[in-house]
Amino acid sequence: MMDRILTNKWSVRIISLIFAAILFTSVTSTSTNVTNVTDGVYVDVINNVPVEVYYDKDNMNVAGVPDTVDVTISGPKGLVQLAKTQPNIIAYIDLTNAKAGTQSVKIKVKGLSDRLKATVNPPTTKVTLAEKVTKKYSVDVELNKSVIADGYQAGTPKTDPKKVSITASKEILDQIAYVKATVSDEKDQKSDFTTKATISAFDANLNKLDVEIDPGEVEVAVSVSKIGKTVPLRFQQSGNPADKTVTITSITSDDEKVTVIAPESVTDTIEQITIPIDVTQTTADKTIEVSVPVPTGATSVTPTSVKVKITTGKKQSDQSSNGANEGTGQPKEESPNVTTPDTETGNETDEDKEDDQTDTEDTTKQSSTEFKDIAISIIGLVNSDSFSTAFLNPASGKVNITISGLKTEVDALGRNDFNVVANMSNLQDGTHTIPLAVHGLASKFTFTLSQSKAEIQVTKKVADASDPVLN
């Protein structure tokens, strides 16, 4: 049957015609983006055509113009495809003779062949034409965190000029909440520096506003000062080994110094940091890691912890020890960076032993004390002069703290020996819940706060604007 069909010339012609029709349909249907063909008229869409607007740019400001529109074109296939591949089409709004105010205007097109028809989507838009107003604004400088090196702080940046002129419609000018010069190109500065920064204007939600700023760039001078001080570490032996045959010969660390981050008024009073080392459970040489306490009034220390090597020895009999000392005529050698507990020699009476036992009980007794209404200090807020802060919870900005430790050491604590702080680094205006920390309290103490977090509202001070000048 198939052989008879293929040998018949009319069958072959019909099959060829069918294949030709299928091929023609396939080619025409895959023409680029051609969406419709009616009576030889081809239709296609050119997306994202930029919109130009013509108006008195020297004296007027316009808002509400869309960035782009879609244009549907129709006409002969060749011209449609040419318009797609070589887009000369321009969408525009003509406001040269328009009056100030809000109005609906038609979006027109040009640059097409007269034989093509164009339809714009959307065909119209609502725009606002307003007279330009110029105001002068003070400039706030914003420094990225990476600009200043660790252990250093920036003073109040100064700009030249101090104010810039911003031109826009009154409606847009009323939206300006911040005028900022952001410094980000500089890195790890340790000394005073001067750089240039571009000016931008923002609304209350930090949306950038489309305005004219003159000058668009200012010179920023920043003073940089060191806020840290390097001081030596000293290790103080706490207690004696429980094993009476073990002695402590030295307590040392490869980290002999630390840097204290604090204002100069605080670092001037710090000459060294003493860390107590508990050796009561020491039976042989060992290395331990201990935290470095943050001095009162300081923000932090670097490093925050150090490794300490405890070297031990074995006690000789009293007779041998005395003989050795007498034979050499030299006192027992002690490590220069370790302070050992005072000891007394001589015969002890029963009364002395009772007193020693009472003293031992007092020094090992645990105790707690509560300090009430400790004010929370806010640290880390960049450009703090540009913000105001208010405590929402606790409303008083104060908390209670209970500190526990050895009774003799807890009893010696005062309100000035520690600070409760809320670190607001890298935060902007808004309401923030900040974890509370305690600075300056030695690591040998434990503490409990009446609340572990504070809710703080940060408000940006309104930009200072001078009287408007009409163009």
- pLDDT band of residue 287 (cuts 50, 70, 90) is very high
pLDDT higher than threshold 60 for residue 31: no
- Residues 218, 159: contact at Cβ < 8 Å? yes
- pLDDT band of residue 249 (cuts 50, 70, 90) is confident
- pLDDT band of residue 3 (cuts 50, 70, 90) is low
> How far is the C-alpha of 233 from the C-alpha of 235, rounded, in Å?
7
- pLDDT band of residue 391 (cuts 50, 70, 90) is very high
Question: In Å, how far from its chain's centre is CA 441?
Answer: 27
Residues facing residue 217 across a β-bridge: 198
> How far is the C-alpha of 360 from the C-alpha of 276, rounded, in Å?
17
Task: Report the predicted TM-score, pTM, of the whole model to 2 decimal places.
Answer: 0.41
Residue 445's pLDDT is what? Answer: 83
Residues facing residue 208 across a β-bridge: 202
pLDDT higher than threshold 90 for residue 220: yes
Residue 202's pLDDT is what? Answer: 94
- Residues 142, 181: contact at Cβ < 8 Å? yes
- pLDDT band of residue 14 (cuts 50, 70, 90) is confident
Buried b (16+ CB within 10 A) or exposed e, 71-86: bebbbeeebbbebbee
Residue 218's pLDDT is what? Answer: 94
CB under 8 Å to 400, separation ≥6 — which residues? Answer: 370, 371, 372, 373, 374, 449, 450
pLDDT higher than threshold 50 for residue 208: yes
- Unique residue bearing structure tokens 């009893």: 411
Higher pLDDT, 445 or 354: 445
Query: Average pLDDT in the 131-137 region?
Result: 91
pLDDT digits (tens, 9 = 90+) for 52-107: 999 998 888 888 899 999 999 999 988 888 888 877 889 999 999 888 899 999 99
Question: In Å, how far from its chain's centre is CA 303?
Answer: 22
pLDDT higher than threshold 60 for residue 451: yes
Residue 264's pLDDT is what? Answer: 74
**How many angstroms separate the first and last alpha carbons of the chain?**
92
Across all residues in the chain, what is the average pLDDT?
A: 81
Residue 84's pLDDT is what? Answer: 84
Phi, psi (degrees; rounded to nearest 5) at 397: 70, 20
Q: What 8-state DSSP symbol labels residue 462?
A: P
The per-residue DSSP string of 179-210 comes to EEEEE-S--SB-S-EEEEEEEEEE-TT-PBP-
CB under 8 Å to 344, separation ≥6 — which residues? Answer: none
> How far is the C-alpha of 334 from the C-alpha of 285, rounded, in Å?
16
> How far is the C-alpha of 117 from the C-alpha of 108, rounded, in Å?
12
pLDDT digits (tens, 9 = 90+) for 402-435: 998 888 888 888 887 888 888 887 677 788 888 8
Continuous H helices in 233-347: 264-267, 318-328
- Unique residue bearing structure tokens 């001081």: 231
